[in-house]
Every structure is written in C-alpha cells, then in structure tokens.
Amino acid sequence: MASYTPGELMVAVAAREIRDGEVVFVGMRLPILAFCLARSTHAPSAIGVFENGTVRDSPAHEFVVTISDGPNIAGALWCTEMRDVMALLQSGRVDLGFLGGAQVDRFGNLNTGYVGPPGRATRLPGSGGGGDIACLARRHVIIMTHERRRFVERVDYVTSPGFGEGGDWRRRVGLPGGGPAAVITTLGLFRFDPATREMVLASTHLGVTVGQVRAQTGWPLACAPEVTETVAPTPAELAVIRRFDPEGFWTRGRP
C-alpha cells in the first residue's frame, strides 16, 4: 500500500517539471504546492508568478488556499497588478505555466468555456489567464482528474490551445509558446509525440494498469514503447509537501 496520496504524487510529479532558475506561472491548488516543493528542493532559484500580481522568490511560509491569501503576499518579491504579470507572458519571460480544465483532448487543447451542444451548453468559469499561458509560455503542464468525460477526442470548445489539430499547427497559426509538455492526472503521466503532437501515456501511477487508463480516455490512446511506473514521492519530498499542506487540504482529498 502506498505511503502517499494521489494528490501528493501529483504534486511531486508536477514539481519535477520545474527547472532551477525558471519563471513559473503557478496557478491554483496543486501547482501552489508544486512550486513550494520545487523551490525547497531541486529548484532553489525558481521564481513564482501569480495571476493576482504577486511574484515570489521563495515559497510562502504558511499554508495557502488562494493566491491572494496573506501568506502568499507576505515576503513577496513584487506585489503589482495583473496586467504587469500578464506582460511577463507577452514579453516571453515565462518558462513554464500550470493549467487545468474541464476537458482535454488528444492534442492537449483545454476547455474551460462550456460543455454540451450550442444552445444547451453548461457554462464554465472561462479562460482567466489560461489562454494567455497556453499561447505564450515557453511550455505548460496540465493537471487534471482523469475521467472519460473529461478526456475527450475533441473538446467542445478550445479555451486554451494545446497543439490544435496536431503536427505543426502552433507554428502555422503563429503561437509563440511551445505548447503542453506534460499532462499529469490521477492515473498517470503523459507526454506528446514530437511529430504528431498527440498525447502519449508515459507512465502509470502505482496500482494503475494501461487498460484502466484507456478505459477512462475517450480516444484510442497512444502509449510509449515502454510504459513505466510513475516515480513515487521520496520521503524528503513528502516531508516538504506535508509541511506546506499540514492538514491535507489539497492533497489528502480528491485532487
């Protein structure tokens, strides 16, 4: 039996996507913890950018629920306006952004606009800064719960573009950012084929089979030549995660 929760595993996997010295558009929920973990371990020079206008060169010293909580403001490197941090994206200075959504498709396009047929669709929160991150960050990482209704062959609405129709679509339409580099879910870790730009299963989490992942995916899922088991959080990583989320608010319930 694993000594960690699915949420703690997802945080550890997300943190490993952050490289030392990078500027990271952090986002909400699990990415907050991923930044704290990376900054406390292998990426001590990473800079965290938050949509509310906060820029940090250190993790918050206390538990954070939202990016505007006091602990995320105290000790910040810069507290400014949203337009200033969005300008960092526009000027090409953001290396990595984290995103989530209601739907994702085989080419990494995200939907946070609406689901269902036109005229009878259910409205969702919308883009926020998601579209900007997806278009302008040098790369981005998607974190989602893995359910068949969310992993669809084609999203109902493209709020935040991934690789569009596949192949060189991003270059053809003129998007400067590099697109999605990984998808981290409750079942596994996915990368993207460098030629087709289709999502590829790279590893499954402990106890999860390839068949289970395919059953929760709404298209014929491509797999790496050797699907491995996702590297578990180390004791040191778990200690840091639990220091920043002591009650398990984000990591011990449903991610």
- Round to whole Å and give the CA distance between 190 and 167: 17
φ, ψ of residue 188 to 5 degrees: the values are -170, -175
Where do the domains of the chain lie, and which CATH numbers do they carry? 1-94+232-249 (3.40.1080.10), 98-230 (3.40.1080.10)
pLDDT beneath 50: ranges in the chain: 255
pLDDT given for residue 218 in this prediction: 97
The count of other CB atoms within 10 Å of the CB of residue 119 is 5
pLDDT given for residue 1 in this prediction: 58
Task: Tell me the pTM.
Answer: 0.94
Query: How confident is the model over 54-86, as pLDDT tens digits?
Result: 999 999 888 989 888 898 999 999 999 999 999
Burial of 71 (0-12, 13-18, 19+ CB in 10 A): middle
The count of other CB atoms within 10 Å of the CB of residue 194 is 7
Handedness of CA 192, 221, 206, 186 (dihedral sign): positive
pLDDT given for residue 255 in this prediction: 47
**Residues labelled catalytic:** 51
Query: How confident is the model over 120-153, as pLDDT tens digits?
Result: 888 888 888 899 999 999 999 999 999 999 999 9
SS (H, E, C) the chain: CCCCCHHHHHHHHHHCCCCCCCEEECCCCHHHHHHHHHHHCCCCCCEEECCCCEEECCCCCCCCCCCCCHHHHCCCCEECCHHHHHHHHHCCCCCEEEECCCEECCCCCEECCEECCCCCCEECCCCCCHHHHHHHCCEEEEEECCCCCCEECCCCCCCECCCCCCCCHHHHHCCCCCCEEEEEECCEEEEECCCCCCEEEEEECCCCCHHHHHHCCECCCEEEEEEEECCCCCHHHHHHHHHHCCCCCCCCCCC
- Round to whole Å and give the CA distance between 132 and 204: 30
